Amino acid sequence: MKDRGYYEKFGGAYLPEILVATFDELVETFQTAKNDSGFWQEYVDMMSTYSCRPTPITFAQNLTRHFGGARIYIKREDLNHTGAHKANNVIGQGLLVKRMGKTRVIAETGAGQHGVATATMAAKFGFKCTIYMGEVDVQRQRPNVFWMERLGAEVITVKEGTRILKDAINESFRDWVTNMDSTHYVLGTACGPHPFPEMVSFFQSIIGQEARKQILEQVDALPARIYACVGGGSNALGIFNAFLDDPVELVGVEAGGEGIETGRHASRLSSKDASIGVAQGYKTYFLQNSGGQMRETHSVAAGLDYVGVSPILAQYAETGRIRYEAANDREVVDALSLTIQKEGLIPALESAHAFVQAFKEASAMTPKDIVLINQSGRGDKDIFTIADAFGDPKWQEFIKEKAEGYHA
């Protein structure tokens, strides 16, 4: 990494003058903490006693038998506190907020998992908390909105733009500019201006550190391939980082939406629809038109419905170290259904993208091969979307009765 967070031609910190001093403080605080072994130990101890780490690796025996090829293992980030990998980052940033002496945190959220994790961290550390969430995502992730508010956070619905994740990020930055003396923006993924890509991937690296040790202990071998979904990129970098120097193929799976050919997707690195640009304070591949205006994206998974991608992952796309694929909405729902029925696990819709690609490739591999899937979160939050996708008549009747009860 070069000065100001460049990863070759990607990254950087494209900031308004008013935010430069705030970012300088954050960079200094983070680098000091990163170089302090006591800070990492404090972080690991808290993740152990508060967030139930390390999360296990599970051998998916039934799925392995079903596909008849590679042995399938699953890293269980769904068992992390708040139900996803998001807690890894927010707890780490919360410790930095304490060091900076700030009293309020703000965050964007798409699927709601980062919002719940941030609200949880704020409750634990005693911070005031505001969460920005696009109106479309509020509607499809209402259970997580409920929990954020119960945890004491103010949830602000963003009604501008396309009303999804990118617009929530924009509103968070506007808040931060106004309240930077007291407030820290807990950016949820490895995007944005330096030091966020480095900082978020640093805290998420706990996933890969655990996974590498666990798989060697369980099978005395490294995986042939590791699969992770890719939205902004935090869970993928979290598990990939520990294996970058190993002879392991790393596969990131993006949101194919209604199909790459339709243009209604959120695939930046696995399609030809993205181009390099600068937005939201950093340089990377964005889904944008020839005039630099951001295109509308689509995914069944709110957490992958984003126009940009981590500059670190963009650089790995250039070097070929990580292979990128896309899974469409129908494939995601089918893979989720199969995993539920075969293993009794309920991956988040985001995570299910990684399962899709692993399932496509496992049968062509041998029983000597190991594949590892990062289950970045649990699917409880997706119950409305999943029930609609399944067309479950009992669920529909329940919702109708509930609605009638509220209007009685």
37-54 pLDDT per residue, tens = 999 999 999 999 999 999
Is there a domain that residue 403 lies in? no
Domain boundary, last residue among 141, 173, 196: 196
396 found inside a domain: no
**How many separate domains does the chain show?**
2
Decide which of 196, 216, 241 is a domain's last residue. Answer: 196
Confirm whether 280 is domain-assigned.
yes
Q: Between the CA atoms of 230, 233, 239 and 240, what dihedral angle is there, to the nearest 10 degrees?
A: 90
Q: Are residues 36 and 179 in the same domain?
A: yes
* Same domain, yes or no: 70 and 123: no
State which of 132, 165, 196 marks the end of a domain: 196
- Tell me which of 75, 102, 108, 198 is the catalytic residue: 108
Please check whether residue 397 lies inside any domain of the structure.
no
The pLDDT score that the predictor gives to residue 1 is 39
Cβ atoms of 33 and 99 closer than 8 Å: yes
Task: Let me know if 205 is a catalytic residue.
Answer: no
Q: How far apart are CA 269 and CA 285, in angstroms?
A: 7
Q: Do residues 74 and 212 share a domain?
A: yes
Residue 405 resides in a domain:
no
Half-sphere exposure of 133 (CA within 13 A, CB side): 30
51, 75, 86, 171: the active-site residue: 86
Same domain, 161 and 29: yes
- Domain of 113? 3-48+85-196
- What average pLDDT does this structure show over 213-222? 98
Average pLDDT taken over every residue of the chain: 96
Within a domain: residue 246?
Answer: yes
376 noted as active-site residue: yes
Whether residue 149 sits in one domain with residue 13: yes
Q: Do residue 43 and residue 151 come from a single domain?
A: yes
At residue 3, the pLDDT reads: 61
| Dihedral in degrees, nearest 10, Cα atoms 77, 326, 143, 82 | 10
Strands of the sheet containing 154-158, edge to edge, are 154-158, 128-134, 104-109, 183-185
Alpha-helical (H) ranges within 232-348 are 234-240, 311-319, 329-343
- The predicted-structure confidence for 254-288, as pLDDT tens digits, reads as follows 999 999 999 999 999 999 999 999 999 999 999 99
C-beta contacts of 258-266 below 8 A and 24+ residues apart: 258/298, 258/328, 258/329, 259/328, 260/326, 263/295, 264/296, 264/297, 264/298, 265/297, 265/298, 265/299, 265/326, 265/328, 266/231, 266/297, 266/298, 266/299, 266/304, 266/305, 266/306, 266/307
For 345-378, the pLDDT digits (tens) are: 999 999 999 999 999 999 999 999 999 999 999 9
Task: Verify that 99 and 112 share a domain, yes or no.
Answer: yes
Q: Whole-angstrom Cα distance, residue 214 to residue 220?
A: 9
114-134: buried (b, 16+ CB within 10 Å) or exposed (e) per residue? bbbbbbbbbeebebebbbbbb
**Nearest CA-CA partner of 367 in 98, 35, 71, 113:** 71
**C-alpha angle 131/55/61, rounded to 5°?**
120
Which among 132, 140, 176, 187 is positioned nearest to 158, based on CA atoms? 132
The span from the first CA to the last CA of the chain, in angstroms, equals: 61
pLDDT at 2 over 50: no
Is 219 a member of any domain?
Answer: yes
pLDDT in tens, 84-134: 999 999 999 999 999 999 999 999 998 889 999 999 999 999 999 999 999
236 and 116, same structural domain? no
In the predicted structure, residue 151 carries a pLDDT above the cut 50: yes
Are 184 and 258 found together in one domain? no
pLDDT (0 to 100) of residue 408: 62
Q: What is the pLDDT of residue 376?
A: 98
Are 252 and 321 within one domain?
yes
Q: What is the CATH number of the domain that holds 314?
A: 3.40.50.1100
Beta 128-134 vs 154-158: how paired, if at all?
Answer: parallel
Quick one: 249 and 323 in the same domain?
Answer: yes
Q: List Cα–Cα distances, 114 to 83, 175, 226, 235, in angstroms.
A: 10, 18, 23, 12
Residue 254 among the catalytic residues: no
Sheet-wide strand order for 10-11: 6-7, 10-11, 282-286, 275-279
Q: Looking at the structure, do residues 117 and 133 belong to the same domain, yes or no?
A: yes
Measure Cα distances from 124 to 87, 98, 119, 141 in Å: 12, 12, 9, 23
